[in-house]
Amino acid sequence: MEILVCVKRVPDAAENEIAVEGGAIRGDDLVYSVNEWDNYAVEEAIQIVEREGGSVTVVTVGDGDAEEVLRREMAMGANQGLLLSDPAFAGADGLGLATILAAAVRKGAYDLVLTGALADDGAAQVGGMLAALLDWPFASLVNLVEVDGSRLRVGREIEGGTQEVSDIDLPCVLSIQTGINEPRYVGLRGIRKVASVEIPVLDAAALGVTPAAAKVRRLDYFVPPAGAGADMLTGTTAELAGQLLGLLKAKGGIK
């Protein structure tokens, strides 16, 4: 099974407090990492290849900095990386990104393309658009993958903790939900091992794409107003515990 996994470098929302200044995300001290959902997608691809044979390629759209997320995923066990980079790609919207990625898929011979179900700074759209551009079947929010010959049995996580099980023909695109597996630990040794591996870079000309003008543009960022109802308690730890105890008792929170 030849698997392509699309990954993205994003500000790490777990590590950062995302702050807004002048309508933009304050970027000077942001820590970046691989989008959390994408780690699950890469782990799933590696596990499929361990069972079925084949190889895993990780791909991203971005500038030179984006290469670090490819190396991280290669250290995790992906066999090769592919960087899609061109100044013309800057400002691409979801459709723009999907168009660039679709061109890369067509240049290869992949049986399966995985994406994360969503990105912290995204909108859960690239996987579905990519599938539509390729005219491949698609399943989103996937939390189970079993290979069965030329098709897969996939589970989708739907509302209320229920899993929707379907059969899907290959080749297809799946967007992977967190919790499907346990992404393996990436050690320093793994990172050193891939540090000098050459990563091919494809630009717009090599891919033969010109992303269309974005139909959706972000105008600005802002911090939503805090809820009017929240009563913020302050004090020492002991004082806070005392106040909270009183409130919980009054509201029937202590039985």
Partner 1 sequence: MATVFAYIAHAGGRADDSALELLAAVRTLFPGADPVALVAGSGPSLEAACQEAAASFAEVWKFDQEALAYPNAELLRPLLARVLPPGALVLLPHSTLGMDLGPGLAVKLGAAYLPDVVGGSPLEGTSLQAVRQEFSGQVSAHVACDVSGGAVVTLRSGAFKAEPSRSAGGRVVDRSADAGGLSARRRFVKLVQAEAGDIDITREDVLVSVGRGIGDKENIALVEELAEAMGAALCCSRPIVDAKWLEKPRQVGTSGQTVKPKVYLALGISGSFQHLGGIKGSPFLVAVNKNPKAPIFQAASVGIVADLLELVPALTEAIQKGK
How far apart, in whole angstroms, are the C-alpha atoms of residue 101 and residue 115? Answer: 11
Which residues in the 164-183 window bind partner 1 by CB under 8 A?
Answer: 164-169, 172, 178-179, 182
Q: How many residues does the chain have?
A: 255
Interface with partner 1 (CB under 8 A), residue total 84
Q: Least distance to partner 1 from the beta carbon of 238, Å?
A: 6
226 binding partner 1? (CB under 8 A): yes
* Mask for 98-137, x = binds partner 1 (CB under 8 A): x---------------------xxxxxxxxxx-xxx--xx
> Between residues 166 and 210, which has the closer beta carbon with respect to partner 1?
166
Q: Least distance to partner 1 from the beta carbon of 194, Å?
A: 26
219 binding partner 1? (CB under 8 A): yes
How far apart, in whole angstroms, are the C-alpha atoms of residue 112 and residue 43? Answer: 14
Pairing label, strands 163-169, 151-157: antiparallel
Which residues in the 41-70 window bind partner 1 by CB under 8 A?
Answer: none
> Between residues 188 and 254, which has the closer beta carbon with respect to partner 1?
254
How far apart, in whole angstroms, are the C-alpha atoms of residue 45 and residue 1? Answer: 9
Maximum Cα–Cα distance for the chain, whole Å?
68
Q: Least distance to partner 1 from the beta carbon of 197, Å?
A: 30
> Between residues 21 and 50, which has the closer beta carbon with respect to partner 1?
21
> Between residues 132 and 186, which has the closer beta carbon with respect to partner 1?
132
How far apart, in whole angstroms, are the C-alpha atoms of residue 148 and residue 209? Answer: 34
Q: Are 142 and 122 in contact (CB under 8 A)?
A: no
195 binding partner 1? (CB under 8 A): no
> Between residues 163 and 187, which has the closer beta carbon with respect to partner 1?
163
Report the residue from 138, 176, 207, 209 that binds partner 1 according to the rule CB under 8 A.
Answer: 138
Q: Least distance to partner 1 from the beta carbon of 82, Å?
A: 22
> Between residues 25 and 197, which has the closer beta carbon with respect to partner 1?
25
Q: Are 86 and 33 in contact (CB under 8 A)?
A: no
Torsion of CA 8, 16, 76, 51, to 10 degrees: -70
Q: Is 63 helix (H, G, I), strand (E, B) or coil?
A: coil
Report the residue from 28, 65, 198, 231 that binds partner 1 according to the rule CB under 8 A.
Answer: 231
Residue 117, H or E segment: none
Which two structure tokens, joined as six digits, stand for 191? 């990172």
Q: Tell me the torsion sign for CA atoms 35, 37, 43, 44.
A: negative
Q: Least distance to partner 1 from the beta carbon of 143, Å?
A: 9
> Between residues 54 and 137, which has the closer beta carbon with respect to partner 1?
137
The single-letter code of the amino acid at 183 is P
